Amino acid sequence: MKVPVVRNILEANKRIADENRTLFGSKRILVLNLMSSPGAGKTTLLEKTIDLLKDRFRIGVIEGDIQTSTDAERIAGHGVQVVQINTDGACHLDGNMIREALTQLDLDALDLLVVENVGNLVCPAEFDVGEHHKVMILSTTEGDDKPKKYPLMFQESSVLLVNKIDLLPYINCRIEVIRRASAEINPNLKVLEISATTGEGLPLWTNWLEEQIRQIRGTD
Amino acid sequence: MHELSIAQSILDIITEEMRRHHVERIVSVRLKIGEMSAVVPESLTFCWSIVTKDTPAEGSRLDIVSLPIEARCLACDSVFFVQNYVYVCPKCGSGDLAILSGKELQIQDFETPDF
């Protein structure tokens, strides 16, 4: 006998993510889900972003890693609220992990919360954590074939930061190939070329962020 | 390996539904999986065999129906399958699309043994 079910497999995660999103909305906090492969430069970008914006905005970070609290310690050194989540093997963060982490943050004292997801180009894109925007980093050293090979993350993201452009003279990576392939997968994807190390292009990124924070906060 | 989390979520739902329908054993679960969801069927099947061990769903089979990505162009209204993740209308070149299917991650039904 066949028994009909017709239920969304990730419905439990979606429900918790929606609850997180409602909470963020009531506190008027912009929340970003930052995703990339391991080593693409998420933590370095966060450190630079915090230094550029912390005088104007109150920033918090949730660090997701399979193991260690190394990244949280780096972020804490920049004087912002930070919580470390160790997934103990899981390759992505989910809505429930974020809900747990939120109990350790003072949300009334935040304008911007960045969730640094586990380094992985596939799984994090599948799990809504309640963010307003997914932002991904692709570093030039990973190669210009990545959009075609890992399309889901490119499709789900609002912004693509192409990082490590300072290394372009030394490697075989064509930015125009990344731009063309990304545009085919997601015509609305905003592509920004940056180097988190040298600071090149970072104003493009912080301008976008400021605009989003102001939208969430309304007129003030 | 998000397949492990997905397998666990399927088991949570199936366990609940089995209880609700007073079913003690099942032989299979039918899933609809969209091409966009980046699920590897072999990997999901493997994870299913692990998470169902020592549960009422142990030994059951996953029947996975894969769905291609289908889109409707909002500019010229034509409906087409997205090939190679190129989200551009083949007829008029517009990138303004509504995705009709391909993102599914859905349980359809499960089958109980015949008595």
Residues 6+ apart with CB under 8 A from B77: none
B22's CB contacts (< 8 A; 6+ apart) are none
Q: Over range A187-198, report the average pLDDT.
A: 96
- Determine the average pLDDT of the residues in B20-32: 96
Contact B88 A4 (CB under 8 A): no
Report the gap between the CA of B52 and the closest CA in chain A (Å): 16
According to the model, what pLDDT value does residue A218 have? 84
Q: Is the pLDDT of residue B63 over 70?
A: yes
Q: Give the whole-angstrom CA distance, residue B91 versus residue B73.
A: 9
Q: What is the pLDDT of residue A65?
A: 94
**HEC string of A26-80?**
HHCCEEEEEEECCCCCHHHHHHHHHHHHCCCCCEEEEEEECCCCHHHHHHHCCCC
pTM for this model (two decimals) = 0.92
Closest chain A residue to the Cα of B17, Cα to Cα: A5
**Which tokens belong to A162?**
């192409």
Instruction: Work out the pLDDT band at A220, boundaries 50, 70, 90.
Output: low
Q: Compare all CA atoms of chain A with the CA of B2 and give the residue at the minimum distance.
A: A123
| Pairing outcome for strands B70-73 and B79-81 | antiparallel
Contact list in A for residue B38 (CB cut-off 8 A) is 122-123, 125-126, 150, 152
What distance in Å separates residue A97's CA from the closest CA in chain B? 13
Q: Which residue type occupies B94?
A: S
pLDDT digits (tens, 9 = 90+) for A85-100: 999 888 999 999 999 9
Nearest-CA residue of chain B relative to A9? B106
Q: Which two three-digit tokens encode residue A135?
A: 């932002």
Q: What is the pLDDT of residue B78?
A: 97
Per the CB < 8 A criterion, the answer to whether B76 and B88 are in contact is: no
What is the SS3 assignment for B77?
Answer: coil
Across chain B, where does the E strand assignment appear? 28-34, 61-67, 70-73, 79-81, 97-101, 105-111
CA atoms of A197 and A141, how far apart (whole Å) = 14
Mean predicted confidence (pLDDT) in B88-97: 93
